[in-house]
């Protein structure tokens, strides 16, 4: 995989030729004015449905493995 | 009652006409499609999940509506549809063709699915794709290879090879796909079907599993241009749950397609994109493309050559922006809330971080890993400006190229894909060769403009060639008119639709 990644990296390097300082970047091709939606309460998914696909649950919560390496 | 094989070869519009005339029921249509799916799947393998019982229930619900209730529904009401397994469906397994989502039953519907259900269109099932829509041959699916109905030893294109193969093989009259760099249009080209990528923001992405959010778009997969127009009007329009959704209704695409069928293109200026044909394109693809351009001229269109000099950078920009967004979007698969969780072996610390590493090692395939690594690298300090920043600037240059081109022409044209369908394994060991399949489709994604592929005939090898139309942003109807006109002119020259040349052994023996 490493050699494949190097080949791809060389191929995409060409963008630097075109990206001169006078060009503005584009993040969203269809710029929309950002707006706030009305703050209307909605009913979220029931807890049972949210937890249904979780690998491990307890007491209505997701169970994560320990976060830090030591006890 | 019409024979199964005759019924499933109808366009969606023709099926809908028979429903309205009460010659058939929606249950007849769904049953016929399920029979074809049973017969075709051993050789085609387009579906990951078939939801036959639910589809029959949905068909019955439509059939039980009163005439006045049916009259309120869209034209394609009662006609069944297949869904790319990249779009979430409540109660139906959704995998993105990845092991990491194996067995996941979504608790909600994508907005497009809600709209299809509101239109009483039964869902036949979920179609195969390259894992997380990353690939151009559907060979990167974690589950199965889908065959091209024109030659089962060849790929159907990708990532939406399942939807394209299902529609091409008559397993479904309609399907939905997602197009990030050509994943609807390139499979359309390789399977002789119609595939449309709408304007970015024209169809809600809510419930489309995110790959590269600034490029992804849901769109129609059909056998005719008019069917795509009707489907796009059903799934399109504003959705407050997608912040990039354009706050306007769908464009008048059905009217444009119907107008196009009259085959009068006087006054239309067609721009032939110099950089998107010639070198690197298969001679048979070039030949069909230029014959089709001549037909546009014969119908009164004026053809001019336009140049988009920055398109040569589009592949490079795409393979920076797309993996960058992929690396961010796929970080959600962390083994916590849904999807696969693989705990480390006993001699490794049982931490959350190790669990994520083992989960992703087991859950993601090679191409997905390649793109996550590339994207993480492109976004890392020290490379961000040189790569991601440069790619975003190239995006501006490509948008400017399109702006200039659309000053000279109403609609742009090119071959959809440089080659016809290739054999399984042919490009799997050479990622760059695989990426080149999307050379003509990627610019439209980078610029957010709408584009579609329609069949342009068969190449010297007997395999379908795609013809691409590209229109300005939020003017999707502009490409539907010449596309419908060209489709009608081509079908007249062939004496029948392109699929009349398709051998369909799986349909033999279906008429009881």
% of chain B residues with pLDDT over 90: 95
Tell if the CB–CB gap between A69 and B369 is shorter than 8 Å.
Answer: no
Q: What is the mean pLDDT of chain B?
A: 96
Give the pLDDT mean for A16-30: 91
CA distance to B42, B123, B258, B377, B511, per residue, from B168 (Å) = 15, 17, 22, 39, 19
Q: Which residues of A touch B247 (CB under 8 A)?
A: 32
Cα(B210)–Cα(B470) distance, integer angstroms:
24
> Is the per-residue pLDDT at B160 higher than 80?
yes
Q: Give the least confident one: B383-392, B406-415, B430-439.
A: B430-439
Q: Which residues of A touch B313 (CB under 8 A)?
A: 14-15, 17-18
Choosing among A9, A12, A25, A46, which should be mutated to test the B contact, i.e. which has the most B CBs within 10 A? A12
List residues of B with catalytic annotation.
84, 159, 183
Cα(B259)–Cα(B261) distance, integer angstroms:
5
User: Helix, strand, coil: what percent of chain B each, to 5?
Assistant: 45, 15, 40
Check residue A64 and give its pLDDT: 96
Q: Considering CB atoms only, which of A9, A19, A69 is closest to B393? A: A19
> Is the per-residue pLDDT at B2 higher than 70?
no
B290-343: per-residue pLDDT in tens?
999 999 999 999 999 999 999 999 999 999 999 999 999 999 999 999 999 999
Q: How far is B430 from chain A (nearest CA, A)?
A: 8
Q: How far is A50 from chain B (nearest CA, A)?
A: 7
Q: What is the mean pLDDT of chain A?
A: 88
pLDDT band at A70 (very low <50, low <70, confident <90, very high): low
Q: Say which residues have a Cβ less than 8 Å from residue B144's Cβ, sequence separation at least 6.
A: B45, B48, B128
Tell if the CB–CB gap between B240 and A37 is shorter than 8 Å.
Answer: yes
CATH of B4-311+396-507, one of 3.90.1300.10, 3.40.50.150, 3.40.50.410, 3.40.50.720: 3.90.1300.10
ipTM for the predicted complex comes to 0.92
Task: Indicate the burial class of B105 (C-beta count within 10 angstroms; 0-12, 13-18, 19 or more).
Answer: middle
Q: Which residues of A touch B377 (CB under 8 A)?
A: 9
The helix (H) or strand (E) run that includes residue B361 is: helix B352-363
Give the pLDDT mean for B117-126: 98
Q: Considering CB atoms only, which of A28, A53, A65 is closest to B214? A: A28
Q: Is A20 on the interface with B (CB under 8 A)?
A: yes
Collapse the DSSP code of B182 into the 3-class scheme (helix H, G, I; strand E, B; otherwise coil) and give the result.
coil
Length, in residues, of chain B: 512
Collapse the DSSP code of B426 into the 3-class scheme (helix H, G, I; strand E, B; otherwise coil) and give the result.
coil
Check residue A71 and give its pLDDT: 54
* Interface size between A and B, measured as CB pairs under 8 A: 143
Cis peptide bond N-terminal to B159, omega within 30: yes
Check residue B478 and give its pLDDT: 98
Cα(B84)–Cα(B396) distance, integer angstroms:
31
């Amino acid at each position: 995989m490493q050699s494949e990644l190097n080949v791809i990296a060389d191929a995409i390097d060409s963008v630097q030729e075109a990206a001169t300082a006078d060009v503005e970047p584009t993040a969203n091709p269809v710029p929309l004015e950002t707006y706030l939606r009305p703050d209307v309460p909605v009913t979220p998914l029931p807890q049972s449905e949210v937890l249904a696909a979780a690998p491990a649950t307890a007491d209505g919560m997701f169970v994560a493995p320990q976060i830090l390496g030591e006890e | 009652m019409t024979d199964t094989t005759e019924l499933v070869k109808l366009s969606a519009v023709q099926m809908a006409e028979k429903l309205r005339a009460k010659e058939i029921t929606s249950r007849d249509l769904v049953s016929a499609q399920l029979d074809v799916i049973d017969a075709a799947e051993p050789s085609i393998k387009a579906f990951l999940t078939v939801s036959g019982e639910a589809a029959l229930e949905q068909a019955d619900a439509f059939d039980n509506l009163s005439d006045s209730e049916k009259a309120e529904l869209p034209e394609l009401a009662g006609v069944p549809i297949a869904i790319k397994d990249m779009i979430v469906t409540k109660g139906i397994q959704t995998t993105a063709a990845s092991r990491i989502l194996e067995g996941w039953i979504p608790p909600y519907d994508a907005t497009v699915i809600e709209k299809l259900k509101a239109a009483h269109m039964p869902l036949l099932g979920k179609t195969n794709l390259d894992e997380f829509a990353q690939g151009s041959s559907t060979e990167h699916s974690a589950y199965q290879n889908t065959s091209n109905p024109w030659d089962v030893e060849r790929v159907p294109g990708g990532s939406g090879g399942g939807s394209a193969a299902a529609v091409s093989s008559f397993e479904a009259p309609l399907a939905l796909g997602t197009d990030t760099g050509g994943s609807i249009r390139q499979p359309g080209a390789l399977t002789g079907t119609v595939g449309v990528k709408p304007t970015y923001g024209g169809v809600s992405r809510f419930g489309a599993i995110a790959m590269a959010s600034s490029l992804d778009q849901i769109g129609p997969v059909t056998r005719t241009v008019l069917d795509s127009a009707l489907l796009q009007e059903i799934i399109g329009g504003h959705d407050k749950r997608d912040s990039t959704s354009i706050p306007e209704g769908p464009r008048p695409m059905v009217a444009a397609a119907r107008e196009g069928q009259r085959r009068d293109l006087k006054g239309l200026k067609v721009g032939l994109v110099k950089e998107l044909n010639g070198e690197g394109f298969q001679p048979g693809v070039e030949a069909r493309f230029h014959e089709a351009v001549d037909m546009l001229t014969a119908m009164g269109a004026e053809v001019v050559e336009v140049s988009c000099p920055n398109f040569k950078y589009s592949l490079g920009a795409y393979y920076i922006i797309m993996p960058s967004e992929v690396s961010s979007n796929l970080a959600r698969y962390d083994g916590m809330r849904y999807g696969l969780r693989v705990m480390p072996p006993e001699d490794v610390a049982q931490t959350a971080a190790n669990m994520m590493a083992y989960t992703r090692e087991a859950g993601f395939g090679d191409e997905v890993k390649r793109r996550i690594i590339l994207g993480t690298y492109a976004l890392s300090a020290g490379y961000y400006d040189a790569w991601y920043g440069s790619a975003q600037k190239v995006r501006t240059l490509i948008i400017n190229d399109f702006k200039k081109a659309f000053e000279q022409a109403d609609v742009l044209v090119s071959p959809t894909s440089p080659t016809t369908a290739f054999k399984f394994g042919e490009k799997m060991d050479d990622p760059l060769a695989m990426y080149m399949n999307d050379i003509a489709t990627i610019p439209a994604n980078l610029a957010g403009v709408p584009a579609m592929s329609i069949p342009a005939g068969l190449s010297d090898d007997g395999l379908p060639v795609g013809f691409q139309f590209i229109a300005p942003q939020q003017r999707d109807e502009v490409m539907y008119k010449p596309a419908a006109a060209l489709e009608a002119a081509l079908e007249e020259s062939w004496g029948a639709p392109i699929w009349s040349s398709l051998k369909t052994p799986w349909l033999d023996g279906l008429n009881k």
